[in-house]
């Protein structure tokens, strides 16, 4: 592993492009992990010990990214107010972002329903062992707390009660709460600027200085991406249960078909807005690659926002709103496709026909509403599935039977979540004239250089 890291460092010193280094780390990680599992076996002590050391690079990188998420969200949205970049269209921008996120999640639910039906997936076909049964029991216990919350209570969870607690990411909805808190301070700043311009000017300089420092921290952390991807991908391929994947191969294939179809819908939305979808794909590769390997939408936020602003020309205010809200609202993969597929699979086991119009319409509506507050970290899809299945009066224990393939599918889901967030930012920027088309169409900026 040290030799591979040194190799990536040499590539960086020779000014090899960021995208090429990320893909090199991805490819080498896949091969290295497969070789390690072949030689030692997935459960060997040698491999477990080695992976614990590899985690210093892989999970350490993810922790660094998560470290800057809350400060980045807060200071970026506050900066948008001090620079007057979103205040004129604040209401329109907010409604567009939420509308696109929730709307695409409803479409993703329809895609999941269709895919599960075409592949004729049924929960009764899945066999579970001891680990799967235990997982199912855990899900049922977790559901107990969720069922006690009414929809109005879930909406209240989006609001900040203790901003300092939310800065720690203590709740699934902490990111949205920080966005709301930053917006309150932003509006307060506008009021002070009208009555006390000297104090407002001083505050603006402080905010701009903090923003410059935070963005520098983000840049430093992003330089570690190739190394983080290498270590993360090595862990994935070295520990993956390939026998479990083989048994549930049809579900894995169906899941990725649905994810690819939804990604194509993202491209169609861009084409409908008269934006080149090929340009989008070329520039999105680094951030989608990281999201795929790390399985964390929250960790990908710094790269997400920087890609929107530097590669696509989205204004800072719109990019930060879209990226931040996309962590907890309308995740197309985790909160859209996955819960819908599970519901269609599980319904026949309790005598419910999942193809009736009433079931389909209700499921799509429940998925869209339940997408509020899904955490942008590992486990968000399970949380979304519990909400949807409980709302549809379907048993949740069967969701535990997919534990062996969960990591593999979660990689694709996370990449789709991040894509949905970026597409939302681009479409909102285009609609509100907060998108610099010259940057978007500039093919010389095909990758983000950290």
State the CATH number of the domain containing residue 344.
1.10.3860.10
Residues of the chain with pLDDT under 50: 128-133, 135-137, 376-378, 450
449 occurs within a structural domain: no
17 occurs within a structural domain: yes
CA distance from start to end of the chain:
23
CA 32 to chain centre: 26
Length of the chain: 450
388 occurs within a structural domain: yes
- The model's pTM is 0.78
Give me the phi and psi of 317, to 5 degrees please: -60, -50
Q: What is the count of structural domains for the chain?
A: 1
pLDDT value for 129: 46
79 occurs within a structural domain: yes
Q: Which residues span the domain enclosing 347?
A: 2-442
Cβ within 8 Å of residue 178, ≥6 positions away: 70, 73, 74, 160, 163, 166, 167, 324
Burial 143-179 (b: 16+ CB within 10 A, else e): beeeeeeeeeebeebbebeebeebbebebbbbbbbbb
447 occurs within a structural domain: no
14 occurs within a structural domain: yes
DSSP letter at 397? G
406 occurs within a structural domain: yes
450 occurs within a structural domain: no
């Amino acid at each position: 592993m040290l030799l591979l890291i040194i190799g990536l460092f040499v590539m960086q010193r020779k000014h090899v492009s960021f995208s090429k280094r990320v893909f090199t780390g991805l490819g080498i990680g896949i091969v290295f992990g497969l070789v390690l599992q072949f030689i030692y076996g997935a459960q060997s002590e040698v491999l477990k010990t080695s992976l614990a050391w590899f985690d210093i690079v892989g999970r350490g990188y993810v922790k660094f990214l998560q470290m800057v998420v809350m400060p980045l969200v807060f200071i970026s949205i506050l900066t948008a107010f001090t620079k007057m970049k979103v205040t004129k269209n604040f209401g329109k921008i907010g409604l567009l972002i939420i509308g696109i996120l929730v709307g695409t999640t409803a479409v993703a639910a329809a895609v999941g329903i269709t895919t599960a039906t075409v592949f004729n997936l049924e929960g009764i076909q899945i066999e579970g062992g001891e680990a799967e049964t235990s997982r199912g029991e855990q899900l049922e216990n977790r559901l107990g707390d969720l069922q006690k919350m009414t929809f109005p209570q879930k909406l209240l969870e989006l609001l900040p009660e203790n901003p300092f607690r939310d800065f720690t990411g203590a709740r699934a909805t902490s990111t949205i709460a920080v966005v709301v808190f930053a917006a309150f301070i932003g509006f307060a700043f506008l009021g002070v600027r009208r009555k006390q311009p000297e104090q407002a000017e001083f505050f603006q300089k402080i905010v701009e200085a903090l923003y410059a420092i935070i963005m520098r921290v983000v840049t430093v952390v992003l330089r570690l991406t190739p190394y983080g991807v290498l270590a993360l991908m090595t862990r994935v391929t070295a520990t993956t249960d390939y026998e479990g994947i083989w048994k549930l191969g049809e579900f894995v294939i169906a899941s990725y078909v649905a994810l690819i179809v939804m990604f194509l819908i993202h491209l169609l939305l861009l084409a409908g807005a008269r934006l080149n979808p090929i340009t989008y794909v070329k520039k999105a590769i680094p951030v989608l690659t990281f999201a795929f390997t790390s399985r964390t939408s929250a960790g990908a936020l710094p790269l997400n926002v920087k890609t929107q602003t530097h590669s696509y020309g989205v204004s800072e205010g719109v990019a930060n709103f879209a990226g931040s809200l996309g962590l907890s609202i309308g995740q197309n993969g985790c909160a859209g496709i996955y819960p819908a597929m599970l519901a269609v699979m599980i319904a026949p086991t309790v005598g419910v026909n999942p193809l009736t119009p009433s079931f389909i319409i209700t499921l799509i509506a429940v998925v869209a509403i339940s997408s509020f507050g899904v955490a942008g970290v590992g486990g968000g899809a399970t949380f979304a599935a519990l909400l949807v299945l409980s709302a549809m009066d379907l048993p949740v224990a069967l969701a535990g039977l997919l534990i062996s393939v969960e990591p593999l599918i979660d990689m694709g889901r996370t990449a789709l979540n991040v894509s949905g967030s970026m597409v939302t930012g681009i479409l909102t920027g285009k609609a509100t004239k907060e998108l610099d088309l010259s940057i978007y169409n500039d093919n010389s900026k095909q990758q983000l250089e950290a």
